[in-house]
Chain A
């Protein structure tokens, strides 16, 4: 499996560290125990397209959000996690 890092180009997966599902979001500190349990432990674990975090440890040290089919390892998109987070941030005046 090879991942195209937006900063470094195409590299072998062994250069990256995997950190799982990129769709889980840290809840607000006041959230219920149930919400925290879901965040820490529960996963959709789909058999198909999966949005996931990879860290380019042996490269630029960027966190990436990779869209991958976990049945075929086909990669559809790689985005800097920073850009994903910025796009998510509510626009403030």
Chain B
């Protein structure tokens, strides 16, 4: 296996060979009979977990078992926004840990993930909303997270083309997190995959887990389309399909699967510097490095395992976009797709042990799990390696619902439509 270190020298050397000398980025591994750890799900979280198991805990006899190809799930379908502008104590330290890991990720895995801290701006449209953002900003600052409350003029200087004079929803200001931004989502999957592979982790694609073998209350391996694979420990990171896979071990989760859509417009010259969320409807937008506007809004709102959405939400998202920046009406949408996510009952994730020994759960990421990828992998690896939760993920327990400690950012009660 060639372990090329990517560098500018490599790129230049390859330029003289017509870029034809690159080795495959990872091995296409065949399953072995037994591993120390099996991670089910080759999305961002599963791959990050494998990398941190290898790099932080020295556990390299690991397989990532993926039913499709690596990155075929939500890690390759999201709108790539990263931020840590949370309110509640159970969430803020975790997401801030994630943002810090993003900041050093490319050096850590030697892969250009195009981490771009272009700033995330949440717009507010009423005094009450501004007060709520002031509170959130203060909560963030108390946790050492960067936050700036902007007035209308400051927002206008950044984005002159928004509709500031809308009679119903005037823009009165915004909460800016300058360190937030976006990351090339596929590169995150590829980068973690390559880094883990180089430490000896087996990445097994086209291998669906169809059963979890439990003997005497302990998980001992997985049944797959390619036969039984034994494991000392099993970690589930099956975003969107967590209920189905956990059910193979007899678990019932506080999760519903829902579809979220994303949209990309035709390419434009660079004009949209950061990431902006509209506060009067649900709409978030940024411009990709290729020039297309990348945007999205609400989930469709009903249980779904179909990786496509319905038209009413397309209309709703585009209406919100038009309300924010009417000029968008001149654009054509190039592509639109959907991804299936675990919507948990309090809008927050789960990283925990399960009632089955040796079986660990990473689930419930709703539609904010991309930004969590590094910390999720970091904390899940910690949990699997040491059998105790990582400090910043202590609140993300599976039994918090039964115990009455939900982490309900929106304060909306048990509803699987939060994020």
Chain A residues near B (Cβ < 8 Å): 1, 12-14, 18, 20-21, 33-34, 37-38, 40-47, 50, 52, 70-73
Contact = CB atoms under 8 A, between A and B. Distances in A.
A20 B252 contact: no
Question: Top 3 A-B pairs ranked by shortest CB distance?
Answer: A14-B312, A45-B243, A41-B254
Interface of B: 241, 243-244, 247, 252-257, 301-306, 310, 312, 345, 401-402, 414, 416
Contacts of B244: 45-47
Contact of B402 (A12, A13, A33, A43): A33
A52 B301 CA distance: 12
Given A12-B312, A42-B253, A71 B306 contact: yes
Contacts of B257: 45, 47, 70
A70 B345 CA distance: 19
A50 B306 contact: no
A18 B58 CA distance: 47
B305 A43 contact: no
- Summarize A's interface: helix, strand, loop or mixed: mixed
B414 A42 contact: no
A20 B303 contact: yes
A50 B414 CA distance: 20
10 contacts: A12-B312, A13-B302, A14-B312, A20-B256, A40-B401, A41-B402, A43-B252, A45-B256, A47-B241, A73-B306
A70 B310 CA distance: 13
A13 B401 CA distance: 31
Contacts of B306: 70-73
A37 B402 contact: yes
Given A20-B416, A47-B244, A47-B257, A41 B401 contact: yes
A43 B247 CA distance: 11
Given A37-B402, A42-B254, A71-B306, 16 more contacts: A12-B312, A20-B256, A20-B303, A34-B402, A40-B414, A41-B254, A41-B401, A41-B402, A44-B243, A44-B247, A45-B257, A47-B244, A47-B305, A70-B304, A70-B305, A72-B306
